[in-house]
Chain A
Amino acid sequence: MSDREKEHEGRSPAQRRPAGGGPGRGMPVMGEKPRDFKKSWSRLARYSGRYLPVFVIAVLCAVGGTALTLIGPDMIKDVTGVILDGLASGIDTAAVTDKCLTLLTMYICGSALIFVQSRIMANVSQGICRRLRSDISSKLNRLPLRYFDSTTHGNTISRVTNDTDTIGMTLNQSLGQLITSVTMFLGSIVMMFIENATLAAIAVASTLIGFAFMSVIIKRSQKYFGSNQKYLGAMNGHIEEIYTGHNIVKAYNAERAAKERFDDLNKKLCDSNWRSQFLSGLMMPLMGFIGNFGYVAVCVAGALLAMNESIKFEVIVAFILYVRLFTQPLAQIAQTATTMQSTVAASERVFELIDEEEMAPDAEGVGKRGKARGEVRFESVRFGYEPDRVIIKDLNAHIEAGQKVAIVGPTGAGKTTIVNLLMRFYELDGGVITVDGVPTSEMARRDVHDLFCMVLQDTWLFEGTIMENIIYSKRGVTEEQVVAACKAVGLDHFIRTLPGGYETQLGDSANLSAGQRQLVTIARAMIEDAPLLILDEATSSVDTRTEILVQNAMDKLTRGKTSFVIAHRLSTIRNADVILVMRDGDIVESGNHSELLAAGGFYAQLYNSQFENS
């Protein structure tokens, strides 16, 4: 599987949103629906409990800052009043300056409060995000491997990155905005009614009519957004598929068919595209309309009232400003509501992982013992990946210290199951596996792992220097030991030819061949130097000369160790003391090469099919 595919596994094409957020722009695109809104919020609130005191301060700042802004129009009204009073007689500029200075101070204080609130929320949200990521990461190390074998990497990774990001964004922006918006909304209503009830009622009513109108449009438009996402996904999927299979499309002259499907999708996409684009584009003119409509209503109604002398003219000035303060937060509240929804869906996913059941804690009592000899026994081992599907029914085997065990079977026969059980990556359903007579289930997992060195077929290296890759987590390893291990596997000379020698960074630029990577992992296992060994022989993609090196290195590694080899080479199989033959997950035969051949069972059949001339 290519890296690109890995990037996308676990996500359907439809979920792959285009960069830039699609037709977002102020339009409440339908977010993912969380399953239990309230529960997830309270889980997130409990998780963020330690931030509660600062959060309360932030809320107070937001409310205070907004309240100061809300007093503005009232003060402006007073200023207007002073000017109007002096229109004929001469304006009291000292009084105006006085009032204006007060208001300016209030505005500055208000802004300062909002600034403090934003800073606090930035700190809180990033702190929570960071903790979420850390918790997920350390959680991963406590989860049973069963979890990873049944979940795609993409799925887990997106919880570490996308989902925590979404949560952070909401906490940082939306939550603060929600508080100020609500305060602004309620506050401006209160202020308007204090100024003049009639005019206030007219202002509120006229804006609400506009919003009712808008919500109808939003409701109707949702289905276009849905279908737009769907076609976008289908289109991206088709393009990805055709580009990835470019040589096949060419080789089979399938360009025309691909083009036909593309044109069909492109037409449908264009159609749904302009609709959703248009509808999301409507939001701005609509907001403008609502603002204007409120403005007109206040102006006209205010003027009529002023003519009647039931209000003073400056009240109209105040209302013009209040209508603006009143309409702005409404749109923001609507927008925040949808972000909240996808946030809850994200936190649901994150907490699902954080609350996932962990491995049973290690049993107490059995401490680390001296150097193990490496005698392994399987006694009536029973195991299944799913509880109702037992695949290993009753495995009994006795491996003396220092013996070699070959595990053979066709692809997909479940050879890695044995590794999973030996390393205690999975727990047995019945029976015991003992090392030197001690059941592995009674040891701490760390100690079980310490008993084994392991070289797997997919050569896992990480970003770091060659030296770091070989030493890995082992402590107290000298450089001489690393060099000795590399010399033993025949890698030393090659490493010295690299520009940085042992300190060469292994990165994306694949500067090691598959075989060399394999050699590095073998060297790593040599440094680990545990009494037992698990080895997965490589099958392909290694050039012949390196292949010989790898084989020699593997032979050296198995010396003096009880080894379990997932074998592909016949020489390994023939030389093994015990061969475990696997088929469809179960061990169907065991014995050595000549015994198994003589038995004429599955092994014999496999052996013959592999090497017989067809």
Chain B
Amino acid sequence: MSVLKTENITMKFGGLTAVKDFNLELNQNEIVALIGPNGAGKTTAFNMITGVYRPTTGSIIYNGQRIAGLKPDAITRLGLARTFQNIRLFKELSVLDNVFIANHLHLNSNIFEATFRLPRYRREKREKLQRSEFLIEKLGLKEFMNEKSSSLPYGLQRRLEIARALATDPKILLLDEPAAGMNPKETDDLTAFIKEIRDEFDLTIFMIEHHMHLVMGISDRIYVLDHGVTIAEGNPYEIQNDPRVIEAYLGVSEDAED
């Protein structure tokens, strides 16, 4: 069953077309990867889906609803959460606060109830705190709960970003280079972990990734972008054997990155 579909979304910056006619379809509980050389327009595609950019043309349909042009917060509220390529944590805040803040969007209490700690807020806060602690533990960050998020090592910061995204209670999780900066062992762990959270939280996952090992081992389907154009689409086996992909991408993949 398709949960997200983009129809010919195109993004132009001035005279430059960053992404052209991108057609994506995500089915329930799939893990789909988006690959392509640097500057291919992958993050731009992400930014259109999550509302950071409004597509120049084309539409995005999520569970039957057109979402192109909605603000990022509205899109997150509908159930699409993301991480960032160049980690965007709330640096001065603690690990717990980072995750707790991502619960804020589902808070029903108004600012008055919250400030004066009225019963509804107290109940909601207790629930959200529990959920945050659960997610932090799930991601193995329990011992760092009260540390400033910027003091975590790089790999853990990436994990915290995933915990934070999960806290928004998404249906679709978009991961922008989750394995960037990780060593092979960590990357293997990540592979297992992504599958685990997909099953546990009933997610559909769409990710940008450069580590071919990870991508090929985990993805149900793969889209390949080059210069903003989709040059291939298919399962890992098809992609690995697609001459256009080999030409555009695989030849320069792993050692050129990071």
**Chains A and B belong together in one complex:** no
Residues of B within 8 A of A (CB): none
